[in-house]
Structure 1
Amino acid sequence: MTEQRYLKPGRIQVQLLHNAVGWLTRHGISIAGSRELAVRGRKSGEWRRNPVNPVTVGAQRFLVAPRGQTQWVRNLRAAGGGELRVGNHIERFTAQEVPDAEKPELLRTYLARWQWQVGAFFKGVNPNSSDEELLRIAPDHPVFRITEQA
């Protein structure tokens, strides 16, 4: 089994970035399209929240995990869906993990939109990188196709 990549955020980053963006999003202020992901914990069943940056490609929406195999990724795999929130607006969705072979276009689009915030986690790859370079890092970045529930 290969080692699963996970970049744990530093204490300052959690306090300044995650907590601030999460607070703003919970209070109805989205930073450049950010959302608060709410997903049930796979062990506790409790709601777990984390700021995320959804990206739209064509008519579909996706969640990309820039830090790799995070707790929210593991919880989303187990739960099969969750909620995206901004203030009081809640969007329930189901999630399907995307195979690595389908990720280059998705990662390219994600980086074009969010590189200013997450570029450091992508090993020098950027929106102008080749498909081969994006395929090389694809296993390090889980991607989920999200479909809104009626």
Structure 2
Amino acid sequence: MAISTYKIFLMMKGEEAAYEKLIDIKDFPDLGGSPEMLETTTLSDKMQTYIPGIQSLDALEFTANYTKTDFTKLKALEGQEKEFAVWFGGDETGGTLTPTGADGKFTFSGQLSAFPVGGGVNEVVDMTVTIAPSTPIELATD
């Protein structure tokens, strides 16, 4: 069964070793990438052949609404190695949405940076949160 992008959260491990929602996001990047192709073609092959190499992964870019409070919070985290996660799934009770990760928790470590992005007439001001991953992205087993 397919799931919706509703109830997807950018999380960060807090001081008490529990994940907390970092900020509300508007989109999230690919949580993986294609492996590099290592060519194995010989002069006896009539077509190029390959084996998979190391998986490629670019910086992880998330879009969020700009608020001074969120931006200040993110800037204070720059230059620090933190544990992050993207959680799929949440519960909504009494008008409150709580992240659960029931449909998957993708965890990784890295360093973030944030910047406001340009805009035009009659647009919402956004910011980009970029995380440089320092560990592979893993599907948590809990």
Normalised by the shorter chain, which TM-score bucket?
0.3 to 0.5
Query: So what's the TM-score if we normalise by structure 2?
Result: 0.40
- Tell me which protein shows more helix as a share of its residues: 1
